[in-house]
Chain A
Amino acid sequence: MNRKRTTDGWSPYLAGALVGLLAIASVYATTVWMGKTHYLGASTTFVRAAGLLERTVAADHVAQNEYFTKSKVVIDWQFMLVVGIFFGAFVSALSDNSYRLEHVPPIWRKRFGPSIGKRAAGAFFGGIVAMFGARLADGCPSGHGLSGMMQLSVSAFVALAMFFGIGVVVAHFVYKRRTA
């Protein structure tokens, strides 16, 4: 028995290149089987999830909302893709013993301590701002970052520069304790 099988995973270059092949296979498969080319993405699914949840309490409101109508509140190809990410990550983590029930990630703990409440608040409010931005920009690091860059879209290059540029500034401000 080899107990030291908690590896560092695969080379990110290799895993990334395989995602490139998956992206190619996926545009081909969606074109053939669905009649329209679909690109890897994730953030529209959050709109659909919000619509599905809201519909359980305010069906009329969702039906009348222009953005929900435009995005179509249905469990579609991308919705299932996002569900699939969960299972794929789960299987992969079990396969190399890297599944961990993490309460607070190390960098966060170093700055804000072990409080789950603080981490929950940060993740929740960060999530609201990030998703509002992703919907405004019409994409996230999957839709713009991967799919848009692969197509040499101008919007993708500018979006990724904004994502990362502002991310760097805010991360330095938030996680770097100023040495007083």
Chain B
Amino acid sequence: MNTEQWLGLVTGVLFGFLLQKGRVLRFDKQVGAMLLKDMTIFKFMLSAILVGMVGINLLADTGIITLGHKPMNVGAIVIGGGLFGAGWAIMGFCPGTSIGALGEGRWHALFAIAGMITGAAVYAELFPLMKTTVLAWKDYGKIDLSQITGVAKWILIPLFWVGCLALFAWFEKKRL
């Protein structure tokens, strides 16, 4: 294995370890969130985002790393995001957590993984069609929130923190 592969493996082991310790790999945690009964995955994700957001933007502002926004292609994000949501509800895993769920013994994740590999193969076949239809509708490109709101990034970040902390307080109060 080369450096790149080792780096990926080590990062993945740590990521998988933390996903499992946070108990977010399970079908019941993921579907529980969609049934609005258990907000564990949101507590986990938003905590990761709050911390990562500060560090990544500091590193980007100092020129150490480069940001890599995914394009705001309306058809792709809205239709693709909706299809993902529908499949996610039935499968009960997302791509990363399906692999982790298999690691903690939830072997039915194998069917989900097989389905997702099939789905990727289907997409590869239909990509030319998508390119001339859904992907061709409207693309706003690689834009961030401060560009569309006109509010500086370092004002948005503290606001996001305040909003999430208030949400966490509400989750705990409601025992979600």
| Contact between B24 and A12, CB atoms less than 8 A apart | yes
Find residues 105-148 in chain A having any chain B CB closer than 8 Å to their own CB.
105-108, 116, 119-148
Compute how far the CA of A84 lies from the CA of B41 in the bound complex, rounded to whole angstroms.
20
| Contact between B72 and A155, CB atoms less than 8 A apart | yes
| Contact between A153 and B83, CB atoms less than 8 A apart | no
Compute how far the CA of A137 lies from the CA of B85 in the bound complex, rounded to whole angstroms.
11
Report if B166 contacts A (CB, 8 A). Answer: no
Compute how far the CA of A106 lies from the CA of B28 in the bound complex, rounded to whole angstroms.
7
Which residues of the partner chain A approach B6 to less than 8 Å between Cβ atoms?
80
| Contact between B56 and A127, CB atoms less than 8 A apart | no
| Contact between B123 and A136, CB atoms less than 8 A apart | yes
| Contact between A15 and B69, CB atoms less than 8 A apart | no
| Contact between A152 and B114, CB atoms less than 8 A apart | no
Compute how far the CA of A18 lies from the CA of B49 in the bound complex, rounded to whole angstroms.
10
| Contact between A154 and B140, CB atoms less than 8 A apart | yes
| Contact between B123 and A26, CB atoms less than 8 A apart | no
- Do A125 and B90 contact each other (CB < 8 Å), given the known contacts A22-B15, A163-B84? yes
> Smallest Cβ distance from A32 to chain B, in angstroms?
9
Which residues of the partner chain B approach A161 to less than 8 Å between Cβ atoms?
81
Compute how far the CA of A58 lies from the CA of B13 in the bound complex, rounded to whole angstroms.
32
Interface on chain B toward A: helix, strand, loop, or mixed SS?
helix
Which residues of the partner chain A approach B147 to less than 8 Å between Cβ atoms?
154
| Selected contact of A40 from candidates B15, B92, B112, CB within 8 Å | B15
| Selected contact of A20 from candidates B16, B50, B82, CB within 8 Å | B50
| Selected contact of A141 from candidates B94, B99, B100, B121, CB within 8 Å | B94
| Contact between A149 and B53, CB atoms less than 8 A apart | yes
The residue in chain B whose Cβ has the minimal distance to the Cβ of A36 is: B66
Find residues 45-70 in chain B having any chain A CB closer than 8 Å to their own CB.
45-53, 55-57, 59-60, 64-70
Q: Which residues of B contact A (CB under 8 A)?
A: 1, 3-28, 31-36, 40-41, 43-53, 55-57, 59-60, 64-73, 76-109, 111-128, 130, 134-135, 140, 142-148, 153, 156-157, 168
Q: Can you list 27 A-B pairs with a CB-CB distance of less than 8 A?
A: A16-B45, A20-B50, A21-B51, A21-B55, A27-B59, A31-B66, A42-B96, A81-B9, A83-B9, A84-B8, A85-B13, A85-B100, A88-B17, A89-B19, A105-B92, A108-B27, A120-B111, A123-B90, A128-B118, A131-B123, A133-B80, A140-B95, A148-B69, A151-B68, A155-B70, A158-B77, A163-B85
Further pairs besides A19-B18, A50-B120, A159-B81: 14, Cβ < 8 Å? A9-B22, A22-B18, A30-B7, A31-B65, A51-B124, A80-B12, A85-B103, A89-B17, A129-B90, A129-B119, A131-B87, A132-B122, A136-B83, A158-B78
Q: Which residues of A contact B (CB under 8 A)?
A: 8-24, 26-31, 33-34, 36-37, 39-40, 42-43, 45-47, 49-51, 53-54, 65-68, 71, 75-93, 96, 98-108, 116, 119-172, 174-176
